């Protein structure tokens, strides 16, 4: 029973951590700005994060051929994330 409670606490902290990504600025390794995180998409069965959805995309971002959803929102593959801190750093070569 204690293990289940500990696992639930871990899940709660994961949810808080995911929420803490909202609003962070997404930049490339070279410091080029893409925009800010508006939301995340994930696989409901595995919980794996799939995409970072951007709000306030920069002109630089708009000039690239980045995947978009049906509403035109830019989608950054979560697999391209290199580091998370004050900014979310992504590998630009993994996006294009």
Distance CA 81, CA 86 (A): 13
Write out pLDDT tens, residues 14-23. 455 778 899 9
Distance CA 33, CA 46 (A): 30
Looking at domain 22-95, its CATH architecture is Roll (2.30)
pLDDT tops 70 at residue 7: no
Write out pLDDT tens, residues 26-78. 999 999 999 999 999 998 898 888 999 999 999 999 888 999 999 999 999 99
Residue-by-residue DSSP string for 7-32: HHHHHHHHHHHHHHHTTPEEEETT--
What's the pTM value of the predicted model, to 2 decimals? 0.79
């Amino acid at each position: 029973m204690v293990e289940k409670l500990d696992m639930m606490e871990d899940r709660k902290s994961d949810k808080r951590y995911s929420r803490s990504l909202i609003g962070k600025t997404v930049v490339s390794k070279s410091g080029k700005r893409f925009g800010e995180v508006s939301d995340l998409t994930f696989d409901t069965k595995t919980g794996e994060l799939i995409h970072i959805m951007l709000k306030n995309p920069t002109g630089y971002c708009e000039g690239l051929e980045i995947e978009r959803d049906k509403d035109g929102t830019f989608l950054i593959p979560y697999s391209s994330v290199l580091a998370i801190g004050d900014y979310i750093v992504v590998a630009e070569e993994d996006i294009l």
